[in-house]
Structure 1
């Protein structure tokens, strides 16, 4: 079978949005080439993520590759894909260099070829993400393993936004919490929450592909089997009272989530947000303070930020 590869060279901050556009247009998967992953991924003895040469990576932005079966007539789809990418600028996302290339590829197990570059990675002090197809032995007694097969959904633990989220969860989970994971993607944050001792975890995503991916990954981790996953638009209609709300999503989506998170959090509850590009950090901090949140921690990795905010124990009258 023949496939068409659509390459989009764009900015880091548009990565998630462009990937989603390709998936919604019919791509059967996406591959991401980011020079920052090659240069900055930790080499800690737990296995390298990338087995590629630095020259294989673009020096500007990221390259997102979508794969379309030849049963789809791409000339009809490409104008729509380009139009939707251009529209991202209206949401404040930088899309430059915004270069689109199309190549034909012959199927040679392309759907699984990327697996040779994805190996076990210790992402925090206690959490190690392990591909579902690899054998792995614990390196220390307190290590918690998250088994993943990311498939089409975002979140393998290697991207800075996911690593920041995992670090925040490890820092603030004490045990027995109720946690809401908004925009769950691969389900990695929900699974990590259970690994760290959370009692009840509810995961939500608007994308049906992500919901299925999260469910599949949860089944790979017995300790997380009671995590619930539902399709939902942010926290609309959710009445569960939570100790922690975690969201690794775009800044533009975090903004409307802020009042919803505030409403469902218990007094003293924590709002952990990531997926925030550096130049949107002050906007998110400002909106959270306006809502009544207290900012207690801001972390940064490369161009990405995470924010930990707290709902006051006693609200101002």
Structure 2
């Protein structure tokens, strides 16, 4: 049985996405985020709730991000590089507080299965519910869509505020003949939701091969492998055609330089749905979208996270 090393980074919420990216870039076999707010503010319907809050595992301030490496990895180098890069986030304008980095041993059986007891179905909207593959769930409504996920530890549960905001936007804007690109697909949940909402063609892209595998597994779990194409790709590099809708739930630091490329890959009047935007960065993203000839249709907020729905306007000759 494989012995795993679990690195835990306790840090303030604002740094969570950046630290998760650092773990991925260091080669972590999985990343988990324990955020008390995800539990306290999760939408609840009756007794259905995604998680049960274990007070011992969730700090009152900040979050805990965990990455997993094997005993064969250079753990000293990983520890040094992790510490250096996390502290360096302050140089990029990300405030760092509550920082504590620790390492512990985890057996593969514990890592793979123990967390599953906390994961239950959650109603993201009136029309869509996310259900773990090992749970039994009966529809509340005839027109309710079910997304089955095996989230593992790499890409979360599909219920982070940014993902919820994107799903809500897809529910509003996807139309039957839509061609959609899901950029930075992660678990594939947005691609699955887009298909269930009626998109005609869905393509999912992610730079991370682990994400591509995860997305393919979840798409297969929903029996949509013949309808959704998943590819490893750096954003939309070398993609030559255009879509009616582009959805991108990625970091603000990636969104900003991606905006011109998103414009180029949209049909006239096409929609750009983007999230992963912390509240403090909202104005910067909106200003950049307007500067690149997007009209802002909606700005939606959940907790400290924002999603922007923008429409491509044809540039004047």
Q: How do 1:111-190 residues align onto structure 2 when only pairs under 5 Å count? A: 111-190=112-191
Deviation at 1:237, TM superposition (A): 1.5
The 2-side partners of 1:63 and 1:265 are apart by: 37
What is the DSSP-based 3-state SS (H/G/I as helix, E as strand, rest coil) of the residue aligned with 1:128?
strand
> Which residue is equivalent to 2:32?
31
Structure 2 unmatched ranges of 5 or more: none
Contact 1:195 1:224 (8 Å CA) reproduced? no
Q: Does 1:41 pair with 2:37? A: no
CA distance in 2, matches of 1:11, 1:182: 27
Distance 2:240 2:107 in 1: 49
SS at match of 2:263: helix
C-alpha displacement at 1:107, in angstroms? 4.8
Alignment check: 8 A CA contact 2:31 2:154 kept: no
Question: Does residue 212 of structure 1 match 2:228?
Answer: no
Separation in 1, partners of 2:226, 2:153: 21
Query: How far apart are 1:27 and its partner, in Å?
Result: 2.9
- Output the CA distance in 2 between the equivalents of 1:91 and 1:243: 34
Output the CA distance in 2 between the equivalents of 1:289 and 1:51: 42
Q: Secondary structure at the match of 1:240?
A: coil
C-alpha displacement of 1:289:
0.3
Mapped to 1, the partners of 2:256 and 2:24 lie a distance apart of 24
8 A Cα contact 1:5 1:104, kept in partner? yes
Q: State the Cα distance separating 1:279 from its structure 2 match.
A: 0.3
Structure 1 equivalent of residue 256 of structure 2: 255
Deviation for aligned residue 1:140: 0.8
Would you say how many aligned residue pairs link Structure 1 and Structure 2?
316
CA contact (8 A) 2:121 2:131 kept: yes
Matched with 1:282 is: 283
C-alpha offsets along residues 104-159 of structure 1, whole Å, 9 cap, x if unaligned? 34554322211111111110121111111222221110001111111243252211
Residue matched to 1:87: 88
Structure 2 length as normaliser, TM-score? 0.94
Distance in 2 separating the partners of 1:164 and 1:298: 10
Shift of 1:29: 2.1
Counting only pairs closer than 5 Å after superposition, residues 51-130 of structure 1 correspond to structure 2 as: 51-54=52-55, 56-130=57-131
Instruction: Report what 1:315 is aligned to.
Output: 315
CA distance in 2, matches of 1:199, 1:90: 44
Partner-residue secondary structure (3-state), 1:123: strand
